[in-house]
Amino acid sequence: MKIITSPAKLMNVENSTDFLRSSTPKFIEQAELIQSHLKHKSPKYLSDLMEISSKLADENWERNQKWKSKPTSKESAPAMFAFTGEVYRGLDAKTLDKNAVDYLQKNYRILSGLYGLLKPSDKVMLYRLEMGRNFEFEGNKNLYEFWTEKVTELLNSEMKKNEVLLNLASNEYVKVVDRKKLNHQVIDFDFYEMKDGKLKTIVVYTKHARGLVVRFCAETNAKNLNDVKAFNYDRYRIDEEKSTDTKLIFTR
């Protein structure tokens, strides 16, 4: 069983762990290629591309100037600890024990607009480049065009026969996985909150829940879908009636 999530815009490279030996991302040369183009883009271009304020654009322009493929430990952090958005608040990796971290190193991957696909231990620097942005370079109209075949092939090579892929990534990011060429079943997830007698999707809660599922799988050493269906953190419960063979629905 493999698990994928999106990265996060919020990052902190001061976070780390003694449980993982840092590693180099599989696609570091490709990341270097992307950065060689990003580095020459103006703050105004970055602001327009990512629809961010001029302050954030300036900040990310500086990040692009400092980025390197072989960062020091002070300039980088293991990917699972570097991202700090809502999914990663749910995961709360810094409070996991060694067995849980080992489980995630083996089974968990993070999709990335810059790095393609990351292991928890892969060193990353501060960056911002969402997968869904129409960043054109080297004849590619966007990042999907550049990454889809590479990411899908890597997932296929890492997964064993009959393994399933738990998709806890956003639609923006999971689109980079070519489901037709992936030799494994993808299991999607939805999370609903009961509000005023109706089930509603609340984005921030959904993101948090995705991280909680990753944490649950690590802490319980989940090996199959039945194990995953037992997910019960933060009062979530499986809705067997609404769930299907390819989508698990959790409500609270």
Tens digits of residue pLDDT in 181-203:
999 999 999 999 988 889 899 99
User: How many domains does the structure of the chain reveal?
Assistant: 1
Cα gap 192→227, rounded to integer Å: 20
Signed CA dihedral, 166, 170, 173, 177: sign only: positive
- β-sheet bridge partners, residue 110: 5, 118
Q: What is the pLDDT of residue 38?
A: 96
Question: Which pLDDT belongs to residue 143?
Answer: 97
pTM: 0.96
Question: What is the DSSP secondary-structure string of 118-157?
Answer: E-TTBEE-S----TTS---BTTBSSHHHHHHHHHHHHHHH
- Domain hosting 155: range is 2-251
